[in-house]
Structure 1
Amino acid sequence: MTGSPPRRISVLIPAHNEADYITGCLTALYASAISGHGIEVLVLANGCTDDTVARARSVSVPDGWEMRVLERAEGGKLAALTEGDKAANGDILVYLDADVQVEPELLSQIAHALCPERALYASGSPCVTPARNAFTRAYASAWVRLPFVRKGAPGFGIFAMTRAGRERWGQWPAIISDDTYARLHFSPEERIRLPGRYHWPMVEGFRNLVRVRRRQDRGVAEIKTLFPQLLQNDDPRPSGMRAMARIALNNPIGAAVYVAVSLAVKTRLFSSNVVWARGR
């Protein structure tokens, strides 16, 4: 690993009204223990009506790093990603949500793991940020033990790929689950889970958990309908009931809360026509 040649890394951060999060996201990113690589950060501000842009520009940028803010008047994460891909100069592309904080080792591990000449994908090991709400804490205590979270490289919150991998599709389609879409363009053998951790927040409270879970389920269903050929790259998963039964043996309260949210998702409880801007 010490003999790896320098690589150009582009970190793309789509941001729509992320003033409460962008400072923490960038501060953690800039603390990355990495050297010998050219690193640019692109904050993809789309449709912001708060001071996301000003706060992003106010964070001190380390020596050897570059930071640009690309402002779009229109909102829309996927259009912002397409624009960011065109502007990025990196051999390695890292897609980071504005409310996620990486630990110092992760970016360096990504740089060493992804050989630019190959189509490869990588992500870190997720940790759920402790919630204020007791219901969300109980839900998260079961959720983090699901096979999807514990194994493979799920990629929610942050994922990275080589340019050769990104060339497998053109513009980002207007879909809900961009992370699933990207991940399934790579076979399980091309996906790498790294030990470096990142901190990923959940929404607070039963109502919001139901709404977000329902949106996530719609996103997965959308992929199955529009891009069924990608499903061959999904990881094999055990029965959800079997996995939850195992979790319930050690965490009955967390399992009960998780099941309650899952059942509510299947009903019209808390359904509305309001567009849910945050993915979680």
Structure 2
Amino acid sequence: MNHTLDVVIPAGGDPGLLQRCLVALLCDGHDIDLRVIVVANGPASSQNQASAELLLRAFEDERQTLIVVTNTCPGKTAALNRGDRERRGGAVLYLDADTIILPGTLAAIVAGLATDEPLLVAPPMVLVRPEGRLERGFASVWPRLSGMENDVVGAGVYATNPAGRRRWSAFPPIAADDLFVRSLFARSERKLLAAGGFLFNLPRRWDLIRAKRRWDHGNRTLAGLHDVRPGNLPTRSFRSRLGDVARLWREGPALACFVLLALSARLTRGENDDAAAWIGPKPPPIAPVAPRRPRIGICIVTHNNADEIRACLTSLKSCWSELSIRIEDNASVDGTADLVRQAECRTKIRANPVNRGFAASVNRLAVDFGEEVDHLLLVNPDVELASDAIDQLIAASLVSEAEAIVGGRMMRHDGSVDPHNCLAEPSLRQSIAFALGLRHWPGGKWLDPDALGGWGRTGIRAVPALTGAMLLISRALWHRLGGFDEQYFLYGEDVDLCIRAKRLSGTTLFTGFARYVHRGGASSASDTQRWIAILRGKVSLYRQHLSPLGSSLARWLLLGGIALRAVAETSGLAGTKMWQDLWRKRDLWRRGWPQPDNSLR
């Protein structure tokens, strides 16, 4: 197999987005002879050129080729044609500069194009779920339209082999370059790859309407080209539209939002929707990232985890980053520290004579890493990561337009999804849902805010808060936040961190592609002790993030919920005695965590 691939990137947008795109290519290009060609054009050509040139050294260190050229002619297709002049003539990937590929994408493209027959391939598109109602509706319906589902869509990412590239000489001056190329390949010559993927950020609000107008205009201009084969394009006849409505009617509100947005784009057409102009979304400036492969500092806090720590350390792998691992052991008596020293030469461990608590220990580990890492990865010792989990977290962090805390998909040992990795922020509604046990009611997924509307923990989307079993956070954001609040000894510090991050214009992002198995509660001697710590964390969150009246009401609701469960156990409706124990020991948790003891720092 010829493991070579040329990548042509027209760069006319935000330089920060281009830099993130290039970092993802650099990370995913192992075992592939890459030749990446960046064509800086448009008003920001000098900024994009400078941004791309920052990665020249990193590509050289990885024995890859990065070529940066400028183009004076306006328009994306002019940039594509300029980039084609730098190709070697083999397989080629055309990639928009605001796109982030997922781990394994380049290898899947190279393997998919290993044929002498003309072939057009693309990885699956993963829409980063937007937050607005109209945008969410559009995102739910658009990828499922006729001619898009299970087919090569393009959307700024498509690749072909040498035989396929000979189908056209140059890109015509139109906006829909991806549909133009698709029209040259029959259905049997198009392949949607099973592995990899690319992350696509939908524009927001009016930017989405402007982008939809540009897409529609580009589609209409295709009909005027003599070498286009209309039979290879998605059918948008009145009959096909009715078929889509009949097939997607169950989407209800989402379908209505899609139709409304499509009509808005149609009714607001203007003369500026010309094919040659680069009319793209205009997001706020994106912060640049380190112009190299990311460096990840992994922080693990142990307390009597000898049975789990070996499996955890074995699972810490990454093709996209350089890993450093540090452990702080909090007074383990089961030989955890000795086991780590014997089993892991790449791990530095510090043993404490007393249990300092999770938050304080992570803060110390973060200080130890200093500025030698770009991100901190917080991992519980009773967690086992999938082989690409860390790489998927990095990809999600690259696509985020704001500084992000990124978490993954928590699984149980039986393979089922544990929904507790994403939670609602502390609120009275959350306390009422817990007190009444709404999650166990019919339709409770819509009533319990922690259920997030019954969402199945798939895809990529912003969430209210993430649990700390596996969290990736940039070192810069961590320092801006001052790390964990050390009043939280165990449980609650992760939710507090997420709330404070969003107040600093950050975001908490979930990716269902980063999977991990969490044993849960392995550092607690019993379920009762673990729940005492959980409840203390909840009360502390109420105290810190609700009003005095709201905090008091939430605490009483929490007490009421425990009391109801204890009564159920006493009546024989439950087979445990944990809730009775928690009720009897309510004085241990109803006031939350005390302020940290500064003498231990």
Question: TM-score per shorter chain, which class?
Answer: 0.7 to 0.9
Which stretch has the larger CA shift, 141-150 or 13-22?
Answer: 141-150
Structure 1: tracts of 5 or more residues without a match: none
- Per the alignment, residue 56 of structure 1 pairs with 52
User: Any residues of structure 2 matched to 1:239-254 within 5 Å, and which?
Assistant: 239-249=240-250, 251-254=251-254
Cα offset for 1:51?
1.6
Correspondence 1:38 to 2:33? yes
- Per the alignment, residue 266 of structure 1 pairs with 266
**Separation (CA, whole Å) in 1 of partners of 2:104 and 2:146:** 24
Cα offset for 1:236?
6.0
Cα offset for 1:270?
6.4
- Per the alignment, residue 200 of structure 1 pairs with 200
Cα offset for 1:186?
1.1
Cα offset for 1:235?
5.3
Q: Using a 3 Å threshold, how does the CA distance of structure 1 residues 266 and 71 change in structure 2: closer, same or farther?
A: closer
Cα offset for 1:274?
6.7
Q: TM-score, normalised by structure 1?
A: 0.88
Preserved contact between residue 10 and residue 39 of structure 2 (Cα < 8 Å): yes
Q: Using a 3 Å threshold, how does the CA distance of structure 1 residues 173 and 25 change in structure 2: closer, same or farther?
A: same
- Per the alignment, residue 15 of structure 1 pairs with 11
One-letter amino acid matched to 2:139: A
Preserved contact between residue 106 and residue 197 of structure 1 (Cα < 8 Å): yes
Which stretch has the larger CA shift, 225-234 or 96-105?
Answer: 225-234
Preserved contact between residue 211 and residue 271 of structure 1 (Cα < 8 Å): no
Cα offset for 1:68?
0.8
Cα offset for 1:229?
4.7
- Per the alignment, residue 255 of structure 2 pairs with 255
Q: Using a 3 Å threshold, how does the CA distance of structure 1 residues 125 and 85 change in structure 2: closer, same or farther?
A: same
Q: Secondary structure at the match of 1:14?
A: strand
Which stretch has the larger CA shift, 166-175 or 25-34?
Answer: 25-34
**Separation (CA, whole Å) in 2 of partners of 1:186 and 1:273:** 30
Cα offset for 1:30?
1.6
Structure 2: tracts of 5 or more residues without a match: 282-601
**Separation (CA, whole Å) in 2 of partners of 1:180 and 1:31:** 28
- Per the alignment, residue 354 of structure 2 pairs with none
Preserved contact between residue 13 and residue 97 of structure 2 (Cα < 8 Å): no
- Provide the aligned C-alpha RMSD in A: 2.3
Percentage of identical aligned residues: 28
Preserved contact between residue 157 and residue 200 of structure 1 (Cα < 8 Å): no
**Separation (CA, whole Å) in 2 of partners of 1:211 and 1:8:** 37
- Per the alignment, residue 147 of structure 2 pairs with 148
**Separation (CA, whole Å) in 2 of partners of 1:87 and 1:193:** 27
Correspondence 1:98 to 2:97? yes
Preserved contact between residue 116 and residue 163 of structure 1 (Cα < 8 Å): no
Which stretch has the larger CA shift, 184-193 or 149-158?
Answer: 149-158
Q: Using a 3 Å threshold, how does the CA distance of structure 1 residues 17 and 212 change in structure 2: closer, same or farther?
A: closer
Q: Which has the higher contact order (CA 8 A, sep 6+)?
A: 1
- For the pair shown, which has the larger CA radius of gyration, 1 or 2? 2
Cα offset for 1:256?
0.8
Q: TM-score, normalised by structure 2?
A: 0.43
Q: Using a 3 Å threshold, how does the CA distance of structure 1 residues 143 and 232 change in structure 2: closer, same or farther?
A: closer
Q: Secondary structure at the match of 2:124?
A: strand
User: Any residues of structure 2 matched to 1:1-280 within 5 Å, and which?
Assistant: 5-32=1-28, 34-35=30-31, 37-49=32-44, 51-59=47-55, 60-61=58-59, 63-115=62-114, 117-195=116-194, 196-205=196-205, 207-227=206-226, 229-234=228-233, 239-249=240-250, 251-267=251-267, 269=268, 271=270, 273=272, 277-279=278-280
Q: Using a 3 Å threshold, how does the CA distance of structure 1 residues 160 and 229 change in structure 2: closer, same or farther?
A: closer
